[in-house]
Structure 1
Amino acid sequence: MSPSVPRRLAAVTAVAVAGLFAATAPSALAAPGTVTAPAAVSAVAAAPTPPDIPVANVKAHLAQLQSIATANGGNRAHGKAGYKASIDYVKAKLDAAGFTTTLQTFTSSGATGYNLIADWPGGDPNSVLMSGSHLDSVNAGPGINDNGSGSAAILETALAVSRAQLQPTKHLRFGWWGAEELGMIGSKYYVNNLPAAEKSKISGYLNFDMIGSPNPGYFVYDDDPTIEQTFKNFYVGVGIPTEIETEGDGRSDHAPFKDAGIPVGGLFSGADYTKTAAQAQKWGGTSGKAFDACYHASCDTSANIDDTALDRNSDAIAYAVWNLGAATPVPPGPSFENTADVNIPDSPGAAVTSPITVSGVTGNAPATLKVDVNIVHTYVGDLVVDLVAPDGSVYNLRNRSGGSADNIVQGFTVNASSEVANGVWKLQVKDLAAQDTGYINSWKLTF
């Protein structure tokens, strides 16, 4: 996992993300008023039973990564021989299992970096479920928990797909990212170099960064509600309480996908934050001690893994891939758009609105009303952005987040199921600070 970075990365081209995946239980729908990453309602096909991923197999991959680090100066960092050897190891396993693999190269800090992409044949090419982990370590050590653990777990999940000759509804893709420790360089490169049409085909991205911490917690990303609920369903089934992941928000490879409007989720077992007494009571382990005291250190070796956490999280990954991969996408409903520019005055507190009149939609708005926003502004941290329903109800989309980044080009999902669909909806923007200016370029509602 990377060191702390700004919460919002550079703005990217907006994409209309269609055919997203469904919940595996009715409770997967967001609570009323919730605003989340994009999602869409889908019908659910019966999924094959997810496998129990053998933790011994995952640990065997970790042993190989440890051996690679030991033979190459003690690490598997970007630009070092240990990283390339790690990529070659994973690629050989996937090639032998029948995946179509692509080695993507990029340059960072004067060295060649590598991403490995593996596609499982079949499934809907217009609805891609992707799982990923960064494969690089820091220079200080072999990086077996950070992030050999996530890389080994998705490798073994991919091999389980091959053993089962799984034929999911969705197309399955796996990715191993380079130079994450330098600021998610590899995953940014992958996302930023995907054509808009290809980005729109990714129905969801699942990220796994540190899932075998020696003093573990069980954290679920609080992003897309369907992905989040799927992981929670798994952990309810095995009787393990979870918490929302906050320690690594924006610090791993899901961030570039999220910024591109792609629904994201994932699992995390903790880094250098301290486990509280309450967390130790429900999860075991030692309170007052870091979840991973060897975070970014030379002691992050094969001895720095909790087998139980690694086993549970590996099984949870397979559970998500099997269930989310079986969801049958439903095309999005009708869309309504306003492309007229509306200037945002540089007057603290002044609100401007852009209206959209919706007609011909029966009943209430959906629980997954899609709101695509394109706002041009030189300091988005000044802005509060709200969706205003026909009855005046306000749903906050952005509340002065994003700091000094330019522009808000993002998709949101609003649970508007209590609102009548037809009527005048408004995008409302307030500039709460002086000096920077901009305008609403366009926005769209999809029912």
Structure 2
Amino acid sequence: MTHPRSSLPRANSKALAALALMAAAGLLAASPAASATLERTGPAAASAEPLAAPDIPIGNVKSHLAQLQSIANANGGNRAHGRTGYRASLDYVKAKLDAAGFTTTVQQFTSSGSTGYNLVADWPGGDANQVLMAGAHLDSVSAGAGINDNGSGSAAVLETALAVSRAEFQPTKHLRFAWWGAEELGMVGSKYYVNGLSATDRAKISGYVNLDMVGSPNPGYFVYDDDPALEKVFKDWYAGIGVPTEPETEGDGRSDHASFKNAGIPVGGLFTGASRTKTAAQATKWGGTSGQAFDRCYHSSCDTSVNIDDTALDRNSDALAHAIWTLGTAEPTPPGQSYENTTDVAIPDNAAAVTSAIAVSGRTGNAPATLRAAVDIKHTWRGDLVVDLLAPDGTAYRLKNSSGSDSADNVIATYTVDASSETANGTWRLRVQDVAAQDTGYIDSWKLTF
């Protein structure tokens, strides 16, 4: 972490056989089902329970950490940006993913005079217009091997990706995993990736899940509270095993999720704490030592393979797998899905504003940066009208101002609104006010397209 500054997925015979063997061996963890009703035009979607996620073997995750420690030992004691240990770490992760059937891409950038690298791995299949991402930063600080920060997140994401391959998982969404470079210099790698996406490609990412420091030796259990839908998946999983959680605040804005959040992409994630002190109440709730930092080796040379709590690492790895299987098999919301209100609403002459409402439910995350509001208002002098789109939280987006020179009839237009900071679900309203005398009209219909 940066220092302060559904439908049931398709399955082939091999996948079914693998799942059957895992079930017989007791390796499939229970996964709570969640269903939601989507209010939309067109036929209703069928719902099905998500496929249960496999248990992520802690031994496999620890094996990856041992390899990262060995790489650091052989390369000056660290895996920092611009150092040989970082590239060796990336090559290790890439080789594992290539062998498992992922399509990997190494993305190159420059920071602080050195070449940096991101590694992106795509699992074949799934809806390319609904991309679910999980990622972690792979670099350490120069002071040490960075096994908790952030070998722990990198290893958990890697082993979850390999579990996808072992299960021959065929999700409804397209899965993409990533390992970021130069996070410790200010999320440089993830910013480079996000900034390089077109607006269309950004809109395709339905959510990004970040793991940074998920094996702290005096752990807390913190869940990012940025996106309600992603937060709920993790909180429900932890509630299911009887472990309370708290909202993550120490690392807010200091890890790679911030790059995605700032671009309007829904984000979530897990964290076990860094340099802040565990309180007595937290020690009572989670165990461990009160009055001591969650990770006393944060950004220090002692952040080695012994600086890990296996229970926390195991739980967070399993929680990530649960999120990937649950969100990855959720019924995708078709791009361009529309919600419409065709009830007429009279607009009084030179009087108070009126509104027409559309209720949206069953969507994941925030509204898009290209939310389209199609308006059909019949009026004898359109220049009298002020038109706003009201988000569920009451935020107003001006669609049209009044103008004395705008003498045409009617307002029949489609407006594009950057509503990426707004939760998609809720009641949206079209607000129209006639601010001058002598002309009348009504809202004929209006439609939101996500």
Please indicate the TM-score interval, normalised by the length of the shorter structure: 0.7 to 0.9
1:411 and 2:420 are equivalent in the alignment: yes
Could you tell me which residue of structure 2 aligns to residue 200 of structure 1?
A: 203
Could you tell me which residue of structure 1 aligns to residue 394 of structure 2?
A: 395
CA RMSD after TM alignment: 3.2
Matched-pair contact (CA < 8 Å) for 1:42–1:330: no
Task: Give the length in aligned residue pairs.
Answer: 357
Superposed CA deviations along residues 255-274 of structure 1, whole A, max 9, x for unmatched, are 11111111100000000000
Aligned counterpart in structure 2 of residue 25 of structure 1, from 29, 34, 52 = 34
Could you tell me which residue of structure 1 aligns to residue 338 of structure 2?
A: 333
Could you tell me which residue of structure 2 aligns to residue 3 of structure 1?
A: 3
1:136 and 2:139 are equivalent in the alignment: yes
Could you tell me which residue of structure 2 aligns to residue 110 of structure 1?
A: 113
- Classify the secondary structure of the residue corresponding to 1:118: strand
User: Structure 1 regions of 5+ residues with no counterpart?
Assistant: 6-22, 30-40, 337-354, 375-386, 399-407, 427-443
Matched-pair contact (CA < 8 Å) for 2:173–2:329: yes
CA change 1:389–1:194 in 2 (3 A) is closer
CA change 1:197–1:69 in 2 (3 A) is same
d(CA) in 2 for partners of 1:325 and 1:256? Answer: 22
TM-aligned CA deviation for residue 366 of structure 1: 4.5
Mapping for residues 18-417 of structure 1, pairs under 5 Å = 25=34, 44-331=47-334, 332-334=337-339, 364=359, 366=361, 370=367, 395=394, 411-414=420-423, 417=426
TM-aligned CA deviation for residue 372 of structure 1: 5.2
Matched-pair contact (CA < 8 Å) for 1:42–1:329: no
The answer to which structure, 1 or 2, has the higher relative contact order (CA under 8 A, 6+ apart) is: 1
d(CA) in 2 for partners of 1:122 and 1:107? Answer: 32
Matched-pair contact (CA < 8 Å) for 1:277–1:287: yes
d(CA) in 2 for partners of 1:357 and 1:372? Answer: 26
Matched-pair contact (CA < 8 Å) for 1:78–1:113: yes
d(CA) in 2 for partners of 1:305 and 1:422? Answer: 50
Matched-pair contact (CA < 8 Å) for 1:389–1:425: no
CA change 1:199–1:370 in 2 (3 A) is closer
- TM (norm. structure 1) is 0.73
- Classify the secondary structure of the residue corresponding to 1:46: coil
TM-aligned CA deviation for residue 413 of structure 1: 2.8
Matched-pair contact (CA < 8 Å) for 2:264–2:368: no
- Classify the secondary structure of the residue corresponding to 2:98: helix
User: Structure 2 regions of 5+ residues with no counterpart?
Assistant: 6-31, 39-43, 342-351, 372-387, 398-416, 434-446
Matched-pair contact (CA < 8 Å) for 1:43–1:329: no
Bigger-Rg structure (1/2): 2
CA change 1:226–1:425 in 2 (3 A) is farther
Query: Among the aligned pairs, what percent are the same residue?
Result: 65
Could you tell me which residue of structure 2 aligns to residue 342 of structure 1?
A: none
Matched-pair contact (CA < 8 Å) for 1:121–1:171: yes
Matched-pair contact (CA < 8 Å) for 2:132–2:173: yes
- TM (norm. structure 2) is 0.73
TM-aligned CA deviation for residue 4 of structure 1: 2.4
d(CA) in 1 for partners of 2:70 and 2:425? Answer: 53
CA change 1:397–1:266 in 2 (3 A) is farther
TM-aligned CA deviation for residue 422 of structure 1: 5.5
Superposed CA deviations along residues 352-388 of structure 1, whole A, max 9, x for unmatched, are xxx99875x66x45586848599xxxxxxxxxxxx98
TM-aligned CA deviation for residue 315 of structure 1: 0.4
Matched-pair contact (CA < 8 Å) for 2:338–2:448: no
TM-aligned CA deviation for residue 46 of structure 1: 3.0
d(CA) in 1 for partners of 2:249 and 2:113? Answer: 33
Could you tell me which residue of structure 1 aligns to residue 11 of structure 2?
A: none
Matched-pair contact (CA < 8 Å) for 2:389–2:396: no
CA change 1:195–1:370 in 2 (3 A) is closer
Matched-pair contact (CA < 8 Å) for 2:37–2:362: no
TM-aligned CA deviation for residue 425 of structure 1: 7.0
- Classify the secondary structure of the residue corresponding to 1:117: strand
Matched-pair contact (CA < 8 Å) for 1:45–1:326: no
CA change 1:219–1:86 in 2 (3 A) is same
Could you tell me which residue of structure 2 aligns to residue 441 of structure 1?
A: none
Matched-pair contact (CA < 8 Å) for 1:131–1:175: yes
CA change 1:134–1:357 in 2 (3 A) is farther
d(CA) in 1 for partners of 2:144 and 2:45? Answer: 44
CA change 1:127–1:118 in 2 (3 A) is same
